[in-house]
Amino acid sequence: MADILSLEGITKSFDGLKAIDSLDLKVETGTISAIIGPNGAGKTTLFNLICGYLYPDSGRVIYKDKDVTNLMSWERSLLGMGRLFQDIRVFKKLTLLENLLVTFNDSSENPFKAIFGRRNRKEKKKIKTAMEWLDFVNLTDMKDRLAENLSWGQQKLLSLARLLCGNFDLLLIDEPVSGVNPDMADVILKKTKELKGLGKTIIAVEHNIEAVEAISDYIYFMDSGKIIASGLPEEILNNQKVMEAYIGI
């Protein structure tokens, strides 16, 4: 399908205040889109609506040509919608390997299999796949360390690896390079670009304009619950009105 995600007329209010106002959005498969805008524009709310943590007052969420508006959040995750949170949220007391092993969502996650089943080749295969993705983010030698012992940037990479291991197709990334030093930011951006090569679609919320410029195919500028402007990076970033609205407030 051409557009992996399509939002139609999404509206959401909290206590009478419109957080998202009749928003339409089409995201082409295999692209990297960035959503920028001032604080309070509704970017995170938009993500929550796409993922299913919130339900819109009106409008539809179409994912992979399927109307998922009434599906629960975990159901959307199973369909391939992945999320990387602003506060990362890796499983701190689990090892890196375990963080990845938990993404498979297969039939072995079953208590009966646990008690009566045999540890078989399937487990070994899972570990192999998980290690490949750890390798992708260069965290192989830390596989048995607890995730809480990683640096912030490393945790972000781990999160990315989780999304890949779990075979998500649409990745909603909340501030990929916030809170990391420039070197780590480069690594993260590089890896994000590689994801595109793997056929993934990425929507990122980001404040760092350089980062946005470096990797995006499209930029959406949001303010007050609406998409004010959208287009190619050169267009948006050279747009006076947009930059004023963004930096002005």
Partner 1 sequence: MLLQFVFNGIISGSLIAIMAIGFWFIYRAINLFHIAHGAVYTVSAYIFYSLYASRGNPLPLAFLLSLISGAILGLAMYFAVYRPLEKKSASAGIKFISSLAIYIFVVNVIALIYGNETKIFSEGISDSLNFSGIILTKIQLYQFLSLLILFILSYFFVQGTKAGRAIRAIGDNPLLFKAIGLNERWTKGMVFCIGSAIAAIASILTGLDVGIDPHIGMFALLNAIVAVIIGGVKKLEGVVLGAFLIGIMQNVFIWQFSARWESAVTFLILVIVLLYKSGGLFIVRRRVEEL
Partner 2 sequence: MNYLLHILIMISIYTILTLSLNLPVGYTGLLSLAQAAFYGIGAYAATLLLMKAGINFFAALAIAVVLSATFSLLVSYPSIRLKGDYFILASLSFQIIIFTILYNWINLTRGPYGIPGIPRPEILGIKFDDLYKFFALSGGIAFVILLVTKRLYSSPFGLVLKAIREDELSAISLGKNIKKFKILAFAISSGIAAIAGALYSAYVTYIDPTSFTLDESIFILSIVLVGGSGNLRGPVIGTLLMILLPEGLRFLGIPDSLAPNIRQIIYALILILLMRFRPQGLAGEYRFG
Q: Which is nearer to partner 1, 68 or 130 (CB)?
A: 68
Alpha carbon distances (Å) from 147 to 5, 11, 141, 153: 32, 37, 13, 12
Q: Assess 59 for contact with partner 1 (CB under 8 A).
A: no
Partner whose binding site includes residue 69, from partner 1, partner 2, none (CB under 5 to 8 Å by kind): none
Task: Answer whether 62's CB lies under 8 Å from 85's CB.
Answer: no
Return the number of the residue (69 or 223) whose C-beta is nearest partner 2.
69
Chosen from partner 1, partner 2, none, partner binding at 77 (C-beta under 5 to 8 Å by type) = partner 2
241 binds partner 2 (CB under 8 A): no
Contact present, 42 and 167 (Cβ < 8 Å): no
**How far is it, in rounded angstroms, from Cα 29 to Cα 201?**
6
Half-sphere exposure of 152 toward its Cβ, with a 13 Å CA cutoff? 14
d(CA 134, CA 67): 33
Among 54, 62, 102, 127, binds partner 2 (CB under 8 A): 102
> Which is closer to partner 2, CB of 204 or CB of 242?
204
Stretch that binds partner 1, among 46-54, 119-127, 128-136, 154-162 (CB under 8 A): 46-54
* Integer Cα distance of 54 and 56 in angstroms: 7
**Coil/strand/helix, residue 35:** strand
| For partner 1, the closer CB: 54 or 146 | 54
61-100 binders of partner 1 (CB under 8 A) = 72-73
Q: Is 162 in the site for partner 2 (CB under 8 A)?
A: yes
Which among 32, 80, 62 has a CA at the least distance from the CA of 204?
32
Binding residues (CB under 8 A) for partner 1: these are 45, 48, 52-55, 72-73
Binding residues (CB under 8 A) for partner 2: these are 51, 53, 73-74, 77-78, 82-83, 85, 89-94, 98, 101-106, 108-111, 113-115, 123, 162, 166
